[in-house]
Amino acid sequence: MDRLAVERAKLLSKRSASAVRGLTRFLRGKGLEADHWSALLDLHCMTNGRSTDMMTGVMRAVRPPKMKIVPFQSLLGPFAPSDIEKIADDIRRDGYFVFENRIPAQLCDGLAEAASRLEGRAGRKADSKMAVFDPDNPIGHVYDIPERESLKVPGVQKLVSDPIFVNVAQAYFQAQPVVMSTLLWWSPVMDGTPDTDAAQLFHFDFDPAPIWIKFFVYLTDVTPTSGPHVFVRGSHRRRLPASRDLLARHYVRIPDNEIADAYGKENIVELTGKRGTVIAVDTLGFHKGKPPSSDHRLLAQIVLSTPLFVGLNAGTVPLPENVSPELAKAIAMMPWAYERYQA
């Protein structure tokens, strides 16, 4: 065995030990440390996703589904259990799913009005300032409205309480889901140059859990020139030959041409849609946000995950004084899914 292979084997052993320590602490009900998450990330990149598949299996065993999926009514219409299973299967195949129906225009209007007056973090650098989004003079490539403030908006409460999110997440995970974050964010028209901090170059996410799914709700019309989410179809699947060399570079941005060479241009999909469009995405796959060039984009993002690393990154969020009836009902029916929201 050559020197590089020996060093790699040592690193693999060291990071595996850290990941096991983190899992052990979780199973004992103790808090997790940042190194445990970074160890899982290292292992994901070193094993071409094999370690993430293994951890996913563990989480399915220790956190099995909490409920039986039954017919329900959503803002997106009625759903039967078979509908949910088909959506989950489509995400397993492609890495994303675009819902046929859209959330009501009135709800989009209310969320857009709230987002126009709330302060967001203008950029994702350590020194980025908080500011109200000014469409005539944007100062950052992204404005993230903090979850605590987003959750005070009645429309956000109504949205996050919709049963479609927990049902789809549970069917896709085959495990217990938890709402990890809910927020609003703007992507303004800037200079047209992709910004790495605003996730406008191809990358994969490695959020603090072995399984997660992100739901993007377009609150403005999203065309090819107003910032569509761009996803590489099928790239969420682990242990693919196409991903081996890309993951070996670790957690970095990847040029467009290299993504096209690895997965084929035909699999790079721009997900456009009218306001109210809802998209479910497994962002372990390669993706990016296309920089808007004609219109500012506003979306709501709801993230659900298995609970392993929820506390590490997300913590708890205080419920606002006035909780909507929809959210109160959802918490009462599925407290395990909304465990981060504390009165």
User: What pLDDT score was predicted for residue 171?
Assistant: 98
Number of domains in the chain: 2
Query: Does residue 104 share a domain with residue 25?
Result: no
Whether 92 and 49 share a structural domain: no
State mean pLDDT over 208-225.
92
Rounded to an integer, the average pLDDT of 263-287 is: 98
304-328 mean pLDDT: 79
What residues are paired with 119 via a beta bridge? Answer: 132
The whole-number average pLDDT for the span 5-17 is 87
| The domain boundary residue, chosen from 20, 38, 62 | 62
Residue 185 in tokens:
């964010």
Mean pLDDT of 79-83: 98
CB-count burial class (<10 Å; 0-12, 13-18, 19+) for 223: middle
- Mean pLDDT value across residues 38-49: 93
Give the pLDDT mean for 98-118. 97
* Domain range enclosing 9: 1-62
DSSP 266: G
For the whole model, what pTM was predicted? 0.94
Q: What is the Cα–Cα distance from 120 to 313, expressed in whole angstroms?
A: 19
Least confident of 24-28, 166-170, 262-266: 24-28
What type of residue is 291?
P
Q: Could you tell me if 34 and 75 lie in one domain?
A: no
Q: Which residue has the higher pLDDT, 313 or 142?
A: 142
Same domain, 52 and 176: no
Q: Judging by beta carbons within 10 Å of its beta carbon (0-12, 13-18, 19+), is residue 255 exposed, middle or buried? A: exposed
Q: Is the pLDDT of residue 36 over 90?
A: no
Which run of H or of E encompasses 26? helix 3-27
Verify that 282 and 142 share a domain, yes or no: yes
Among residues 62, 88, 110, the one where a domain terminates is: 62
Taking the C-alpha atoms of residue 120 and residue 186, their distance in angstroms, rounded to an integer, is 9
Share of the chain above pLDDT 70, in %: 97
CATH code at position 259: 2.60.120.620
Map residue 43 onto helix, strand or coil: helix
Which range scores top for mean pLDDT: 17-31, 48-62, 90-104? 90-104
How does the average pLDDT of the chain come out, rounded?
A: 92
- Per-residue pLDDT, 126: 86
Please say if the pLDDT value at position 191 is more than 60.
Answer: yes
Tell me, what DSSP letter sits at residue 25?
H
Chosen domain end from 37, 62, 87: 62
Same domain for 130 and 269 = yes
Is the Cβ–Cβ distance between 310 and 180 less than 8 Å? yes
Containing 147, the helix (H) or strand (E) segment is: helix 147-150
Whether 276 and 146 map to the same domain: the answer is yes
Residues 1 and 74 grouped into a single domain: no
pLDDT attached to residue 314: 58
Segment among 1-5, 120-124, 253-257 with least mean pLDDT: 1-5
**At residue 312, does pLDDT exceed 70?**
no
Same domain (yes/no): 278, 154: yes
Query: Taking residues 208-226, what's their average pLDDT?
Result: 93
The verdict on 158 and 275 lying in the same domain is yes
Q: What is the pLDDT of residue 132?
A: 97
At residue 208, the pLDDT reads: 65
Give the lowest-confidence range in 21-30, 70-79, 225-234.
Answer: 21-30
* Cβ within 8 Å of residue 203, ≥6 positions away: 251, 252, 253, 254, 286, 287, 288
| pLDDT score of 25 | 84
Query: Is there a single domain that holds both residue 197 and residue 213?
Result: yes
Report the pLDDT value the prediction gives residue 308, as an integer from 0 to 100. 66
Summarize the confidence of residues 115-129 as an average pLDDT: 94
Predicted pLDDT at 27: 81
Round to whole Å and give the CA distance between 148 and 244: 38
Strands (E), the chain: 72-74, 77-79, 96-98, 119-122, 129-132, 143-145, 178-187, 212-218, 229-232, 268-271, 278-281, 287-289, 297-305, 317-318, 341-342
User: Which among 168, 154, 16 is positioned nearest to 84, based on CA atoms?
Assistant: 168
Mean pLDDT value of segment 148-154: 95
Question: Does 209 score more than 90 pLDDT?
Answer: no
Pair 158, 9 in one domain: no
